[in-house]
Every structure is written in structure tokens, then in C-alpha cells.
Amino acid sequence: MIFLTRRATFSASHFYWNDKWTTEENERVFGRCANRNGHGHNYTLEVTVAGEPDPVTGFVVDLKWLKDVMERDVLAEFDHRHLNLEVPEFAEGKLIPTSENIAIAAWKRLEPAVLGAGGAGLSRVRVYETPEIFAEYRGGK
């Protein structure tokens, strides 16, 4: 089994807010992230797929294909957007766009294309909010 990883970057804004809580509770739990005007990050999306190299091409998956899938299924809708307002998974308070939830959302967006292509499975999605802060999802519960 070979693990292949591709990185891409996107820039987006977000804020953390739970509608069930008072303003004070939101500010206590989320600190400055609760500023409803939002703030932004240069995110790095790191996608790892796992499989056996194809005997003819030597590829687990074609990196250009994976780049295009990440671009089409994630970056086209996340890059230069306000995650709370413009991305369906998070819009209207459905889900707080933490790095954990962004990683899970990216996984769900990428999995159909990766599985559909055959030959490799999605192994890990990492979302770096800054170079020092990241979240990871490996699928499942």
C-alpha cells in the first residue's frame, strides 16, 4: 500500500458561533473566533489517498487528476468565500466551520470521486488553519 498526498491552499473567512448559546457563552468558549464579522485564514488542504501503484502507469492515482478533483469539489466552493455564509455545509448555522468540520466536509466532498475512480481509497484529510494548527479526519465515526 502506498500513501499519496497532495496539498492545495485556499483562503476563506469564518467565525464560530452556536445559535443555541448566549453571546456571553459564545465569547467564553470561542474567544476572538466568535467575532461575527468573521476573520480569515490561508488554509492548506492536505489529501492522502492509499492504494497499490497501477502496474502500467506506476501511479496510485494521477496527481493531476487528484489536483483537479480537489479544485472542482472543494476549492471552487471554499476559496475566497465566507464559509459561514456561502458554503452549504455551514450556511445558516447548520455547522460551525471549525477546522475539524472543514476536514470532514472536504472528505465527504472528495470521497465519491476518489472511490468512483477505483484503485485508491481516501485515507486522510488534513486542514491546516495556520502552519501550527490543523485538524484531521480519517473517515468513519
- The answer to whether the beta carbons of residues 123 and 51 sit under 8 Å apart is no
- The rounded distance, in Å, linking the Cα atoms of 128 and 126 is 6
**Is there binding between residue 138 and other proteins (CB under 8 A)?**
yes
129 is catalytic: yes
Please select the residue that binds other proteins; options are 18, 23, 42, 57, rule is CB under 8 A: 18
**Is there binding between residue 111 and other proteins (CB under 8 A)?**
no
Residue ranges in 47-86 that form contacts with other proteins under rule CB under 8 A? none
**Is there binding between residue 140 and other proteins (CB under 8 A)?**
yes
Amino acid letter for position 16 = Y
Comparing CB distances to other proteins, the nearer of 116 and 131 is: 131
41 is catalytic: no
Please select the residue that binds other proteins; options are 20, 24, 56, 92, rule is CB under 8 A: 20
Cite the DSSP H helix spans in the chain: 23-30, 63-70, 76-78, 83-86, 99-117
- Give which of 72, 78, 58, 55 is closest to 4, Cα–Cα: 58
Q: Which residues are catalytic?
A: 33, 80, 129
